[in-house]
Structure 1
Amino acid sequence: MEYVKGPDFPVGGIVYGQTDLIHAYSTGRGGVVTRGEAEIIEQKNGTFNIIITSIPYRVNKATLIESIANLVQEKKLEGVKALRDESTKDIRIVIELKNGIVPQKVLNYIYKHTQLEQSFNFNIVALVDGVPQTLSLKSLISEFILHREEVVRRRTEFDLRKAKDREHILLGLKKALDHIDRVIAVIRASKDTTVAKANLMKEFKFSELQAIAILEMKLQKLAGLERKNIELELAEKQALIKELEALLASPKKLMKVISDELKEVKERYADDRRTKIVKGGVKAINEEDLIPEKESVLVFTKGGYVKRTDPGEYRTQKRGGVGVIDIEPKEEDFVTMLISANTHSDLLFFTNKGKAYQIKMYDLPEGK
């Protein structure tokens, strides 16, 4: 992990769990948790906005926005005032919250119930000698280097063949220049190209390729060949041949070519890392974190009924009245106690046998 920190996705995001990454890279299989990035910004009026600035790899932005909107519409995600997409070149999804809403709880709910958080699975498979194999990161890099070595070697062998072929032609042209008058005379004296080729090969010991190259030139061009240019190109080709042969003979030089070409690719295409790697695992989201904190009223009746209700669901009696209007116990039953508490409050119930039971306020079903 000193050199390869982890995957770098084009959409950015956060990858959690270095231990999981090490396992995946060591075995070729595994998975990590990925999250989109989001920031919470307080507004001048005291409300908060959640700004999503990146999404996990392979998550469709439109689908993510639609899933958040559905949660709001189904009243599963409370406290959202507005949802809009302000993305241009970069991702920017704005979630406006209502007054009094805890933004981190809303964000936690979105992480848990949408693709803003999801797992990314590793399955590193490559063809090794034509056979699919699961590879560790180290093995994958080794196989890649072997592949690059083969590519560079075959490319060098091809370039060497081309250079030697051209050297052979240039040697023929140089020899023709040494006997240019006689060469032209032989060509003119021949009745056709086939005879001229045979005569050149016989008299000057040209190879067939050299003879063909000479005959493909017009006599005027052949006579106008400049010895200096031929000798200069010949020297260049011979130097190249020497260099290519030395490269093929030296594994160290071959590896340097591979290294230099990789550095060139890096200089041309590398950019800043987009995906952040977090060593620790993602913090588990408790169900309690997903339940909004709000005031509730707990109603007890003489008949043993218990009901939790929203304070906004009932109204205080008009002047001169006592209690509340909207609490309607059954006939011959009446309210004996009202308790106002937060939905995250702990409630203790004591039995007539001296036992105590603890329950969260939100565990009691809410009624009207």
Structure 2
Amino acid sequence: MSTTRNDDSSAMSEQRIEDIDVSTEMQSSFLEYAYSVIYARALPDARDGLKPVQRRILYQMAEMGLRPDRGHVKSARVVGEVMGRLHPHGDTAIYDALVRMAQGFVQRVPTIDGHGNFGSLDDGPAAPRYTEARLDAAALALTAELDEDVVDFVPNYDNSTTQPEVLPAAWPHLLVNGASGIAVGMATNMAPHNLGEVIAGALHLLENPGATLEEIMQFIPGPDLPSGARITGLDGIRDAYAGGRGSFRTRATASVERVTARKSGIVVTELPYMVGPEKVIEKIKDGVQAKKLAGISDVADLTDRKHGLRLVIEIKTGFDPEAVLEQLYRHTPLEDMFHINNVALVDGGPQTLGLIELLRVYLDHRIQVVRRRSAFRLARKLERLHLVEGLLVAILDIDEVIQIIRSSDDASAAGERLRIVFDLSELQSEYILELRLRRLTKFSRIELEAERDQLRQEIAELERLLGDEILLRARVGAELRETSDRFATPRRTLLTEGVGTPPKRGKAIETTQLQLADSPTQVLLSTTGRLLRIDTVEADARLQQPPRRSKHDAVRSHVTTTVQGELGAVTNLGRLLRVPVVALPSSPQGSVLLSAGVKAHDFVGLTNAKEQVVALVPIDQETPIALGTRLGVVKRVTGIDFGKNRELEIMTLKAGDEVVGAALAADDDELVFVSDDAQLLRFSGKLVRPQGRSAAGMAGMKLSDGAVVLSFAVVAAANIELAEVASVARNEDALEGTDSGTAKVSSLSEFPAKGRATGGVRAQRLLRGERRLSAAWVGPGTPFGNARDGAVRALPTGGAKRDASGTPLEQVVDFIGRGIGDPTPLPGAEAEGAAPDSEDTTAASVTD
């Protein structure tokens, strides 16, 4: 098939008709169109993580001087400059890209500081003539050092100016902020991540080029969405990190609260990524009308600037809020799927990349940027040194220089004679001729000599850097650490191994299915800091199953409560936080897997990276809470009343001190300290009088110089014969991987009770090279060991003498706790030989 092309000229009589093949023309035109969409619009570059329009916006705003320390300008002005100089497309596309770069609910680290109405998930932004914009501080790190030849520049669309082919990108924008775009025959959809975690993973790969995906995921466990919420099920994330494609389920953050004197409600404070509150409210109303949802009396949006997102869903009397919440997850956008498709441009072509490939492309880019920047700086410093040395030559014999210049016919002749007499280059002679007389002072000479010495030192450093790949990679790593310190923020999204909600169904639910009782439950805290809830109805059978070791399965603390109850989380900084039990993830049916739990630090909302949860305690009992600190202080606190507060300070700590363990402690219970110099002290709880929250406690264990407490435990009197003492010693001077240390397990009854404020007795004989214990644990049952990443670690069997030396370990043990599957009744559970009123026995295990 063919057609004709008619090209009209100014004269109607002059025409040129050309026969072409339609299929050939369509193929050629479509390929050009597809190429333009793929390479110039839809897909980001894997190096700086930006699409062309985003890169051009940031570059043009940097050229306009729109820095964070200057005022905002109209967005329309930015759009006009970008469109006129760099991006010959519609102003709508440019403004839409600028808006998304300023929206904190879209990007994890926004790069545009917007002023005005930049829209929401439910409403669009105002017109560009009404909004204002400037670069955010994080954007300066993306565009910095462009004037130092760190990247190639290419012509713009009409060859009137140039633009950077790629930005230097001091942080991994593609992984941090994600990307989405639809090209021709392909698309990309990448999830945002936490900047600090991504840089930590990149640093590990930089220092260990052969690192495995499992190692990298210790630093980058999963996406960190700007909206927070929760991710349930990590298998899809692992698939995406391995091959570039996968999916995960996101859940809103919701809690059950008392909204009126007689009604409970579900309060939603975080929604899945890119889900707006109006969409959720609409789906809830549709579900109620279609009778897919039951037990809901009202829904209100109480969101404001002060409190943030707050959707209140009132529950009818007689309905279990947790069961209603599960139905909301099933039938509304409170639970959503995110499909990952990591497609980006690498060396000019689209590729599907896994996590390690994405990090390697970025690191290779940064290494090249630092290399080119160093070469540029070296060349400039060599040029400056050349001029300074010539100037020093002239100053040393300035009289002759002046005589040569005065006796010359013109500047050209003077320059020629200077080059001959003083053996100077043309550049040096020209510089001397332009020398001002005020530079001829003695002080100027001293300055020049100091500058020369400084330049020589800097040149030597740059030459060493360019000549040593290891130093170059170290410099890249140091700059990444600085960037992380400046811009990293705490994680917002909780990651859980839960299986999530079954696929959504259209069938109406039975009302009776939502009317569930507030059943008893148990909450476990692992030694690696994970929280898990298990139903007491089947907990006894599941907890007493034969031990089957899995990651994170050593228990540090345990509390029996109810599903809709609350418990207290004690932190190492002496704070007690109120935690709703219903919001905790539950263990998969038929097993107890602490790896399915959530990180306690993230769950309770700790913003200080140095603050950690060390114990769980009931908050509805009159029994005092005993606390032991790193410096040997002990306290039993009473009179805890939260009122309307979420957190309380229950112990005043000295500088450098922190809580290492806590538990309920009656007068008849035993308090046990273990210090890192292998001493154990055990004394009666009645020796510690109860105090108020503001008290600082009293002397608990007398420590030798330099020693600190590793473990503090409360053991019920009836459990003394069942309690074990486990300790690990390690050779601090041994090379990594050559010595895993020694461990010992003994019966607590072997250790005599002493008085409070004494030094105790030896708990383990240290071998040559072992100066300190690195971990310790005291409690009833069999101790289990874990590595820092939760991996299983074997411990020797019990029965060792009180002051015996340890047994060599095959692998390093970082934490010790009570093992799941131990036949000994859990502390707090009524059993033969156990005190019915005894509560949680907590033992803290800390690394040295």
Deviation of 1:213 after TM superposition, in Å, equals: 1.6
1:33 paired with 2:249, answer yes
Structure 2 match to 1:221? 439
Structure 1 match to 2:355? 137
Deviation of 1:180 after TM superposition, in Å, equals: 0.8
What does the per-residue CA deviation read over 1:108-130, in whole Å, with 9 as the maximum and x for residues that have no partner? Answer: 34323332211111112233222
In structure 1, C-alpha distance between the alignment counterparts of 2:441 and 2:504, rounded to whole Å: 91
Deviation of 1:179 after TM superposition, in Å, equals: 1.5
Deviation of 1:235 after TM superposition, in Å, equals: 0.4
Structure 1 match to 2:583? none
Checking the alignment, whether the CA contact within 8 Å between 1:184 and 1:219 is kept in structure 2 is: no
Distance verdict in 2 for CA 1:258–1:209, change over 3 Å: same
Q: Secondary structure at the match of 2:219?
A: coil
Q: Secondary structure at the match of 2:511?
A: coil
Structure 2 match to 1:45? 261
Candidates 461, 475, 480, aligned match of 1:257: 475
Deviation of 1:70 after TM superposition, in Å, equals: 4.9
Structure 1 match to 2:220? 4
Deviation of 1:147 after TM superposition, in Å, equals: 1.3
Where does structure 1 differ by over 6 angstroms across 4 or more consecutive aligned residues? none
Deviation of 1:286 after TM superposition, in Å, equals: 7.1
What does the per-residue CA deviation read over 1:171-207, in whole Å, with 9 as the maximum and x for residues that have no partner? Answer: 1111111211111222233344333323322332221
Distance verdict in 2 for CA 1:188–1:92, change over 3 Å: farther
Q: Secondary structure at the match of 2:498?
A: coil
Checking the alignment, whether the CA contact within 8 Å between 1:214 and 1:222 is kept in structure 2 is: no
User: Bigger shift: 221-230 or 5-14?
Assistant: 221-230
Matches of residues 1-368 of structure 1 in structure 2 within 5 Å? 1-43=217-259, 45-72=261-288, 77-78=293-294, 79-88=296-305, 90-222=308-440, 226-284=444-502, 291-293=509-511
Distance verdict in 2 for CA 1:160–1:44, change over 3 Å: same
Letter in 2 for 1:9: L
Structure 2 match to 1:330? none
In structure 2, C-alpha distance between the alignment counterparts of 1:216 and 1:73, rounded to whole Å: 87
Checking the alignment, whether the CA contact within 8 Å between 2:293 and 2:509 is kept in structure 1 is: no
How many residues matched? 295
Give the structure with the larger strand fraction: 2
Gaps of 5+ in 1: 296-368
Deviation of 1:106 after TM superposition, in Å, equals: 3.5
Checking the alignment, whether the CA contact within 8 Å between 2:330 and 2:504 is kept in structure 1 is: no
Give the structure with the larger helix fraction: 1
Structure 2 match to 1:360? none
Distance verdict in 2 for CA 1:263–1:273, change over 3 Å: same
Deviation of 1:142 after TM superposition, in Å, equals: 1.7
Letter in 2 for 1:232: A
Checking the alignment, whether the CA contact within 8 Å between 1:72 and 1:80 is kept in structure 2 is: no
In structure 1, C-alpha distance between the alignment counterparts of 2:396 and 2:250, rounded to whole Å: 74
User: Bigger shift: 103-112 or 35-44?
Assistant: 103-112
What does the per-residue CA deviation read over 1:13-66, in whole Å, with 9 as the maximum and x for residues that have no partner? Answer: 111212211111000111111111111123453321111111111223343344
Distance verdict in 2 for CA 1:74–1:214, change over 3 Å: farther
Checking the alignment, whether the CA contact within 8 Å between 2:387 and 2:427 is kept in structure 1 is: yes
Letter in 2 for 1:264: E
Letter in 1 for 2:230: I
Q: Secondary structure at the match of 1:53?
A: strand
In structure 2, C-alpha distance between the alignment counterparts of 1:8 and 1:67, rounded to whole Å: 26
Distance verdict in 2 for CA 1:217–1:68, change over 3 Å: farther
Letter in 2 for 1:141: L
Deviation of 1:75 after TM superposition, in Å, equals: 6.5
Distance verdict in 2 for CA 1:189–1:73, change over 3 Å: farther
Q: Secondary structure at the match of 1:38?
A: strand
In structure 2, C-alpha distance between the alignment counterparts of 1:146 and 1:97, rounded to whole Å: 55
User: Bigger shift: 211-220 or 243-252?
Assistant: 211-220
Two-structure CA RMSD over aligned residues (Å) = 2.6
Distance verdict in 2 for CA 1:117–1:148, change over 3 Å: same
In structure 2, C-alpha distance between the alignment counterparts of 1:42 and 1:291, rounded to whole Å: 25
In structure 1, C-alpha distance between the alignment counterparts of 2:410 and 2:313, rounded to whole Å: 86
User: Bigger shift: 121-130 or 29-38?
Assistant: 121-130
In structure 2, C-alpha distance between the alignment counterparts of 1:294 and 1:17, rounded to whole Å: 29
Checking the alignment, whether the CA contact within 8 Å between 2:292 and 2:507 is kept in structure 1 is: no
What does the per-residue CA deviation read over 1:240-276, in whole Å, with 9 as the maximum and x for residues that have no partner? Answer: 0101101111111111111111111111111211111
In structure 2, C-alpha distance between the alignment counterparts of 1:195 and 1:207, rounded to whole Å: 14
Q: Secondary structure at the match of 2:477?
A: helix
Checking the alignment, whether the CA contact within 8 Å between 1:84 and 1:94 is kept in structure 2 is: yes
Letter in 1 for 2:393: K
In structure 1, C-alpha distance between the alignment counterparts of 2:339 and 2:414, rounded to whole Å: 70
User: Bigger shift: 274-283 or 164-173?
Assistant: 274-283
Q: Secondary structure at the match of 1:121?
A: strand
In structure 2, C-alpha distance between the alignment counterparts of 1:284 and 1:294, rounded to whole Å: 19
Distance verdict in 2 for CA 1:104–1:98, change over 3 Å: same
Structure 1 match to 2:17? none
What does the per-residue CA deviation read over 1:190-237, in whole Å, with 9 as the maximum and x for residues that have no partner? Answer: 344333323322332221211222222223434666221111100000
Letter in 2 for 1:96: E
Checking the alignment, whether the CA contact within 8 Å between 1:149 and 1:258 is kept in structure 2 is: yes
In structure 1, C-alpha distance between the alignment counterparts of 2:478 and 2:251, rounded to whole Å: 36
Checking the alignment, whether the CA contact within 8 Å between 2:292 and 2:508 is kept in structure 1 is: no
Checking the alignment, whether the CA contact within 8 Å between 1:18 and 1:279 is kept in structure 2 is: yes
Whose Rg is larger? 1
Deviation of 1:284 after TM superposition, in Å, equals: 1.6
Distance verdict in 2 for CA 1:59–1:189, change over 3 Å: farther
What's the TM-score once normalised by structure 1's chain length?
A: 0.73
Distance verdict in 2 for CA 1:169–1:224, change over 3 Å: same
